[in-house]
Amino acid sequence: MAKQKGKEVLVLGSTGNQGGAVARQLLKKGFNVKAVTRKPDSEAAKNLSKLGAQIVQAEISDAAAISRALEGVWGAFAVFTMAGTGVQWEEEQGIKFAEAAKKAGVGHFVYSSVASANKNTGIPHFESKWHTEEKVRSMGFPFYTIIRPVSFMENILSPRTWPAVENGSLMMGLRPDAKQQIIAVEDIGRFGALTFEQPEKLNKEEIDIAGDELTVTEMAQVLSKALGKQIKAVPVPIEEMRKAMPDFAKMIDWIDKTGYSVDIPGLAKKYGIRPMTFEHWVKKAKWPARAK
């Protein structure tokens, strides 16, 4: 596919889940991609380079490096995480990046927040993303879009969850019968790329996105079929989670009682993207070696 003339997009977190998915989709669509990463020698960075991305080494907290990376780009995709840093740092970096992008003359700014960030959940890492959203809305970008994904299907493969799955237990803080909306990271990439393909149409849109809705018990059943062994849904006592991860425990409490409320069928109808179901994702997933 021919390159989109003048359409260079800077992608933060390009060797991570969301940023990597968006970068790959943009490259597939013919955009010039400036992939920002702390680890330019990583396998993920090398793979993006092979696909045609320009790899830029920069720490998000290095204001000078980020300003240089933003020079001349038309679009910017921003995603931040509280993991290892905390919600205050995440919010500060999100706001600083939005300010740097505006100063650099970025024409289309896309921020990945979290579903229901606009619903006063009281969950610290939801509230911090909402504050960053407010900053983005106030900056006066020619075009901006906010996407809000729910929990990732890929969380199943995290070091915190996968070892137990291999031993036959899907361990989550949710009640086994509690419904949870989830999304494949690949679909976040598809929605992210769409915002850059249709900046005028999606200007000022705030889009909550999800791909499926299942109970933990239903997830375990799908995994059992895919892995060829019985996987049981095993609830983690919320009291233990409150001691170790109070922010995360507050989110689990909220999902149990309220939860995400994305209109999944409506997404395909409105945006032309039909997200993957959990069963579809499981069939495509690259399982860790022992599970193959």
- Reduced to 3 states, what is the DSSP secondary structure of residue 236? coil
- Pick from 97, 133, 270, 135: which is nearest to 206 by CA? 133
Provide the pLDDT for residue 292. Answer: 45
Burial class from Cβ neighbours inside 10 Å (0-12, 13-18, 19+) for residue 1 reads: exposed
- What value, to the nearest 5°, has the Cα angle with vertex 225 and ends 173 and 266? 65
d(CA 64, CA 79): 19
Provide the pLDDT for residue 77. Answer: 98
Spatial contact of 268 and 274, defined as CB atoms under 8 Å apart:
yes
Asked if residue 21 has pLDDT above 90, the reply is: yes
- Pick from 288, 269, 255, 278: which is nearest to 187 by CA? 278
Percent of the chain residues past pLDDT 90, beyond the cut = 81
Categorize the per-residue pLDDT at 1 as very low, low, confident or very high, splitting at 50, 70 and 90. very low
d(CA 58, CA 60): 6
Provide the pLDDT for residue 175. Answer: 86
pLDDT averaged over every residue in the chain: 92
Spatial contact of 156 and 162, defined as CB atoms under 8 Å apart:
yes
Provide the pLDDT for residue 84. Answer: 63
Provide the pLDDT for residue 287. Answer: 83
Tens digit of each residue's pLDDT (9 = 90 or more) over 71-122: 999 999 999 987 767 889 999 999 999 999 999 999 999 999 999 999 999 9
Q: Tell me the two tokens of residue 243.
A: 């001691």
Summarize the confidence of residues 263-278 as an average pLDDT.
95
Amino acid making up residue 205: E
Amino acid making up residue 29: K
Spatial contact of 191 and 147, defined as CB atoms under 8 Å apart:
yes
d(CA 126, CA 44): 28
d(CA 176, CA 235): 7
Q: Tell me the two tokens of residue 255.
A: 């999902």
87 to 24, 90, 92: CA distances (angstroms):
28, 5, 9
Provide the pLDDT for residue 6. Answer: 55
What does the chain come to in residues?
Answer: 292
Provide the pLDDT for residue 56. Answer: 96
For helices 246-257 and 124-138, give the axis angle rounded to 10 degrees: 90
Provide the pLDDT for residue 289. Answer: 62
Categorize the per-residue pLDDT at 182 as very low, low, confident or very high, splitting at 50, 70 and 90. very high
Strands (E), the chain: 8-11, 32-37, 54-57, 75-78, 108-112, 143-149, 151-152, 169-172, 179-183, 206-209, 212-215, 232-235
Domains, the chain: 8-150+185-209+261-275 (3.40.50.720)
pTM: 0.93
Determine how β-strand 179-183 pairs with β-strand 108-112: unpaired
Categorize the per-residue pLDDT at 2 as very low, low, confident or very high, splitting at 50, 70 and 90. very low
Categorize the per-residue pLDDT at 11 as very low, low, confident or very high, splitting at 50, 70 and 90. very high
Percent of the chain residues past pLDDT 70, beyond the cut = 96
Amino acid making up residue 40: P
Tens digit of each residue's pLDDT (9 = 90 or more) over 201-260: 999 999 999 999 999 999 999 999 999 999 999 988 888 878 878 888 899 999 999 999
d(CA 239, CA 253): 11
Provide the pLDDT for residue 291. Answer: 47
